[in-house]
Amino acid sequence: MKQKKDKKIWKTALLIFLAGLLVGGGVYLGMKLSDGADKPAKSTGAVDSDAEDWQGVKEPEKGGESAGIAIPGFKSMTFRADEMEQAVNLYNPEVNDCYFIMTLLLPDGTELWKSDLVKPGKGFYTITLNQSLEAGSYPDSTLKYQCYMMNDEQTELNGSEVKFELIVE
């Protein structure tokens, strides 16, 4: 009878030990996997030296609106077929207090062009694409805006993706 009781105590102790080991291992693993997950992303990019002072039409400031990041939008953009160099009007509005990285994407996710960090009040009138395009319409193309604080860490802020129709003639 005493042997049965001793075996039962050992089994219970072993089960408690294993349960504690599993819980402890789970906590440890969870902490390791989430290590750094709360840290915001940083930009490692340099300020784009090709960006120039923006002289284009700018949206007027609207008094009384809450502060935020001004993101230019448009319905369409027109490119020349079979050419790498394209005329554009892409800029970071002067009212912003953050850098932009702008990326042009085809509907299938193909990256056509990407800037480095663009200061407020700077922009592009011409860009060189990663590939030329055939004539046609590319609905649901995307101009992706990634926004970064203007500090040493260049902490990533909220960004935006503007959908538009890319027309290639």
Query: Strands, DSSP E only, in the chain?
Result: 52-53, 76-79, 85-91, 98-105, 111-114, 122-128, 136-149, 160-168
Same domain, yes or no, for 154 and 91?
A: yes
Cβ within 8 Å of residue 64, ≥6 positions away: none
Residue 46 domain flag = no
Residue 65 lies in a domain: no
Same domain, 26 and 103: no
Q: What are phi and psi of 5, to 5 degrees?
A: -65, -40
pLDDT for 141-151, tens place per residue? 999 999 999 99
**Assessment of whether the complete model's pTM goes beyond 0.85:** no
pLDDT at 33: 62
Output the average pLDDT for the chain. Answer: 83
Domain identity same for 16 and 76: no
- Helix-strand-coil percent breakdown of the chain, rounded to 5? 20, 35, 45
Domain that holds residue 1: 1-32
40, part of any domain? no
45 within domain boundaries: no
Q: What is the mean pLDDT of residues 89-99?
A: 96
Residue of 79, 81, 87 lying closest to 56 (CA atoms): 87
Residue 147: inside a domain, yes or no? Answer: yes
The pLDDT tens digits for 25-71 are 666 666 666 555 445 455 556 888 778 786 775 444 444 444 689 99
What's the pLDDT score for residue 93?
96
Whether 28 and 76 share a structural domain: no
Same domain? 88 vs 145: yes
Q: Is the pLDDT of residue 5 over 80?
A: no
Per the listing, tokens 């819980």 go with 23
Domain count, the chain: 2
Which tokens is 99 given?
């850098």
One domain, residues 137 and 75:
yes
